[in-house]
Structure 1
């Protein structure tokens, strides 16, 4: 029953487009599911449920993940905090027991000193203004200040915390970040074969890279920025050229 919506996967949609949760629709709407299946559709970024309608609020390409998740793939650079996403933040200040962290949103997020693995009142984390943090958003909505944590649900750091010594931080589109974080990312695989490097990607459009030397690090950063608007064929051609050049 989801086939009408699946037929639109890969198509460009604009804000204001809508899908109705019934099989009888007007000329400007598309059937989404049968009357007995309205709750089976999961809306990702760019889509919003409103009663019996599904609304598009971000322009982009409609994507689908089995069995029933849909979202809009768009090349946005402005980040809107979303609960559960991992981001790269910059510590901007400390106020009492709370750090203020810039995550690229409209306002700064807060981070308690207790939100680190093994942190206690006596054993506080060594966090300084200007440090980079890889953290997860645990509170993110329009009515409350965003909150971060550097531990998972089991209280483990799991790769989160202060990092970034000797690397380079820069911004890219949110679409490029999703491509890099995909389970079978061709871009990431091809890049690591050409230039072995450390790469940290935040869902807020920030990338941190570190390779063998400053020159290699700058090359990797420039490659990632260039690949943002390249096709797969153009990217492979560029990578082959660099490999033959022996950089």
Structure 2
């Protein structure tokens, strides 16, 4: 039987919003919202919160949810991917899904889609993208654009406006620009290989760690989804998340 776990990396020292994992959204800590959403996915065998902070660990343990455990990890990891790798390196599992700790509205169905793709053995990694409908996002460097082929295999990710439309003036945006959603599925062996590899030049330039995987020749599936929750990056994002949860 395949064994797949969902891992939520959750650190205290966020640069723009320290302690955001415990920030209250409609009366509940953000990490609780994320854990409860991930628990609704049907394809996961277990859920792990990988953290470097006892306050976050205590919060998760106080929820007393079955199949949810805490892995205490080193505080000096350069990324959530490295934190996840430490949390699962001793586990006998086939695959891992990395769900960001600041996505209180993550869709459980998307998690299940990623699980199916990564357990098919066709891909080393899987991720997701949603159509861009707001033209201002095309040139916004904080919105990462995804390019993939007709089989859904990732070709490139960039903060730049890709593809560049050279001549057509009145082209519809439909199906041309895709926003990358930062959720990943990895085969366990590939995850450990990925974190052992030093960052490549493109990753350093764009500050996008998925480019390291592409540079290594990764077979990465991009799932197309209409769903896009909200990432809570700064305190001002909390009212937006509350409004979406209310809706």
TM-score range, shorter chain: under 0.3
Answer 1 or 2: which has greater strand percent. 1
Which structure: greater helix fraction? 2
Higher RCO (CA < 8 A, seq sep 6+): 2
**Computing the radius of gyration over CA atoms, which structure comes out larger, 1 or 2?**
1
TM-score (norm 1): 0.25
